[in-house]
Homo-oligomer: A and B are copies of this chain.
Amino acid sequence: MNIDFSFQNPTRIHFGRTAMQHLPEELANFGSNVLLMYGKQSIKKSGLYDEVMNLLHQAGKRVCELPGIKSNPAYRQVLQGAQLVREHNVDLILAVGGGSVIDCAKAISVSAYCEGDPWQRYWINGEKVSNPVVPVASILTMTGTASEMNAGSVITNEELKVKQGRVFPLELVAPKFSILNPEFTYTVPKYQMVSGIFDIFSHLMEQYFSGEDDCVSDYLLEGDMLALISAARAALKNPQDYEARSNIMWCATMALNKILALSKTQDWEVHQIEHQLGAYTDCAHGIGLAIVSVPYYRHIYRYGLHRFVRFAKNIWHVPTQGRSDEQVALEGIACLSSFIAELGIPQTLREVGATEEMLPLIAESCNKCGGYHVPDTAEVLEILKACY
């Protein structure tokens, strides 16, 4: 744990089949005006909308609504929500949905009372938030982003074709409480489920593939990866397997609530590339990550060979006897590729609607960072071509 850190995560988690029972006691901590946000119609079909609305009314809340949050939440929706918050003097923003809805709720929470253009100030300039922030809470229906227990907010500016993430301080923006009932995820279509699973796996790899020291966080990241692989396989066999779905849900939260990232430098370049892929194609986030990951790691493994050998041994149980480190590392990446295939995820960009013309635009526009190596535009283009 060579890198100093300060850490506190303020989110209270209620997890399990009975989690919703805690909503009334949590609502009692906030004022009367609630902005209820959600995505498409699925929470109306499942009955969750009615259940939440009843509990809100029983708690004496006045509710305004912002439905239709997109899976890549749009900046124009943030501005809509910010206006609702001001008009209705909102005391609590309650996001019911997956990471997109919660990310959008956080964006609204910091934008509502921001002077000037929040996009420019908070997502582009990365300015410190000094205006009042409206509390956010969440009821999770789709797992993957860990937005339920962190302060990240990824927003797409459709006009500018830029998808940009910002990590705010946890104490300001992380949900005050989050309700996680794994049964709510049963109705998520398989494509979205595996997208979420790979999003989680990618979060773990982005944190893992960096650093030279023998860091506790790396062992914990490995533990979460192994738990996720096991749960994913069980959920593929039976999507109604509570144990599997609950494990996936908790793997997701732990993967990005920051506690496994402590004292770690990190990578996050796969996410940067995918953000621009998403801005151009609107493809599901986890699917885009899966497609880009294999050629990305094949490109950078030689810069952090020891870590890719460790990944192969500890995660995929690749035998090492009589093999070079290079061979072991590459077999580890091949195992990752097989796992993606096992999840039934497409392996090429053209399958998610990318065109050849988009590739240089994505390569040019994505942020460049990295763990063991920071690729330049030409390298990103090469990576994109390798999975086109």
Which residues in A have some Cβ–Cβ distance to B below 8 Å?
A: 1-19, 22, 182, 213-216, 218-224, 226-227, 230-231, 234, 242-244, 246-247, 249-251, 254, 259, 262-263
Query: Which B residues touch A222, using CB under 8 A?
Result: 223
- Report the minimal beta-carbon distance from A205 to chain B, rounded to whole angstroms: 15
Looking at the complex, which one of B4, B12, B234 makes contact with A15 (CB distance below 8 Å)?
Answer: B4
**A348→B66 CA distance, assembly (Å):** 67
Cross-chain contact B214 with A234 (CB below 8 angstroms)? yes
- Report the minimal beta-carbon distance from A237 to chain B, rounded to whole angstroms: 13
What is the count of identical protomers in the complex? 2
**A18→B13 CA distance, assembly (Å):** 31
Cross-chain contact A226 with B219 (CB below 8 angstroms)? yes
Looking at the complex, which one of B10, B14, B224, B249 makes contact with A219 (CB distance below 8 Å)?
Answer: B224
- Report the minimal beta-carbon distance from A212 to chain B, rounded to whole angstroms: 10
Cross-chain contact A219 with B223 (CB below 8 angstroms)? yes
6 CB contacts below 8 A, A to B, read: A1-B15, A8-B11, A214-B243, A220-B254, A223-B224, A250-B263
- Extra inter-chain contacts (20) besides given A1-B249, A216-B227, CB under 8 Å: A1-B15, A1-B243, A2-B242, A4-B15, A5-B16, A7-B13, A8-B10, A8-B11, A8-B12, A8-B13, A10-B10, A15-B262, A15-B263, A214-B234, A216-B224, A220-B223, A220-B224, A220-B227, A221-B223, A259-B259
Cross-chain contact B13 with A254 (CB below 8 angstroms)? no
Cross-chain contact B6 with A9 (CB below 8 angstroms)? no
Looking at the complex, which one of B1, B10, B246 makes contact with A182 (CB distance below 8 Å)?
Answer: B1
- Report the minimal beta-carbon distance from A215 to chain B, rounded to whole angstroms: 7
Looking at A216, A222, A249, the one whose CB has the most chain B CB atoms below 10 A away is A216
**A381→B7 CA distance, assembly (Å):** 44
- Report the minimal beta-carbon distance from A101 to chain B, rounded to whole angstroms: 22
Cross-chain contact A5 with B15 (CB below 8 angstroms)? yes
The closest CB in chain B to the CB of A234 belongs to B214
Looking at the complex, which one of B4, B19, B247 makes contact with A215 (CB distance below 8 Å)?
Answer: B247
Cross-chain contact A246 with B6 (CB below 8 angstroms)? no
**A285→B262 CA distance, assembly (Å):** 28
**A2→B14 CA distance, assembly (Å):** 13
Query: Which B residues touch A7, using CB under 8 A?
Result: 12-13, 15
- Report the minimal beta-carbon distance from A242 to chain B, rounded to whole angstroms: 7
Looking at A1, A8, A214, the one whose CB has the most chain B CB atoms below 10 A away is A1
- Report the minimal beta-carbon distance from A12 to chain B, rounded to whole angstroms: 4
- Given known pairs A22-B6, A214-B231, the reply for A250 and B1 (CB within 8 Å) is yes
Looking at the complex, which one of B2, B12, B224, B250 makes contact with A243 (CB distance below 8 Å)?
Answer: B2
**A8→B22 CA distance, assembly (Å):** 14
Cross-chain contact B13 with A6 (CB below 8 angstroms)? yes
The closest CB in chain B to the CB of A222 belongs to B223
Looking at A4, A8, A22, A219, the one whose CB has the most chain B CB atoms below 10 A away is A219
**A184→B220 CA distance, assembly (Å):** 25
**A11→B9 CA distance, assembly (Å):** 8
